[in-house]
Structure 1
């Protein structure tokens, strides 16, 4: 009984030893596998860290290239803005120069036009003066003609009066002789003398009527000459008045034309001044826009630099954390080993 118990103890002891050895062997295998796993994990972490470092380096390189390209783009854009502003400034300067030349030409044109108006007005004044002189000479000649005509009428009337007076004197002498003859032959020729007296009386009456008609004709002729001369004077006066009104209207027209030219020139000067003011405001706005664009570009570049700096700082912190994690992992692996 004791032998069986001893055998069982021995066998149990052997089984326990085998179990412990098997357990130790399994633990060794497990530790070896764990060590291989840790080593593989470390290699994988190293490769991952190396790849992450390569990725970060490549990302930084791409960011650096992108920043260089962005800087080149901003520089090119600023150069383009500078060239555009320079061209705009040259265009504004050329426009101002053209406006100045146009204003000078306009001033010369207005001066020449005023000189032409002055010469035209002077010629018109000379023409009116010459016309008035011709009208004065014509009126003078007409007055001389009317005076001569009146003098001729006066001489004709005087001659006619002398003719009538002579005729009357002849008639008186003839009548006196006839009366003497009649007185001599009064008795004998009384009836004949009476008839002769009646005939003479009738002849005198006829002569008187004829003289009255001739005097009325002369009076009517003089009145007609007077009315004609009065009409001629009225016509000359009306012509002078029309010439004066025409000259006044011409002066008013020239004055109004000069006023219109002055207003036109003033408006042109106001337009040029307003155009220059608009050009100045446009240039000011363009300068402010370029300044704002430059400020915006500066802020954008500053933000880009801040973003790159923050990205680099984040990358540095990430790499530092990764290095700390790898160091801690290695420390844990070292402690575990």
Structure 2
């Protein structure tokens, strides 16, 4: 080996050792502190709880969107990304007059719809437990569960006097993120506005893994089968979601040019995303609605379509969340880090 290469290897090794020593010193102090707390604190505390507290403390030193997600919250977090969970497939609400747990709509082709649950049904009991005074969150949690596990709902159908027990076997429920103006009786969204022939209304509730595919299918059907001439795309109250989903949606409407770019903490361009002509939808008039709660991926879509003069943007000033978060998975079962790693920039 040439002497010059050998000197370089020695220098790199020494540098790595110095870094490792520094890192291990802080690691050793952290372990020491945890041990002292476990052994000497007046109130006993477990190692996992201390570990979670340390991670929460470190993430708390960063921006508001960088967080530690512990194992007990991980399944809920993953549901927001995939929009899938084990359940029966009901949209529920509390009757504003009576406070009763009420079915707003059974989702199409779900266990609840197949079992005969109807819009307007009052859910009196869940597995024999009264729903009187039960919160929506508690009711949802009780109806969710592992696919294949049964749950029995005691419901009172509209215009009937006697409640009935309906046994439902839970399944994987895929929650659509592309909504319409109103639901038909069978639970399917209707996107065409009744008093405005040719005008479609589509609302995106969040940006998940399937959102772009859902949107493309809906618009293709509206164009080919329902005579859509113009589109209202509603992003109000949409908190965002996956950057990839926002890029894919922009690519549906823009045939070429830059969609968005990201930069690291030093201001260097990290990634540039461009539109491609393949799969671009036909041209039609389009308006995007936003408000003060339209954030992140919603702002990327609105800015891209505005800058490319593809759509008019109407509403209120958006939230202003111009950062990108990455999901860093820790060793099981220690949860994940949601870490801000870049900022995004409009075309």
Q: Which has the higher contact order (CA 8 A, sep 6+)?
A: 1
More helix as a share of residues: 1
Higher strand residue share: 2
Larger radius of gyration: 1
What is the TM-score with the length of structure 1 in the denominator? Answer: 0.17
TM-score (norm 2): 0.17
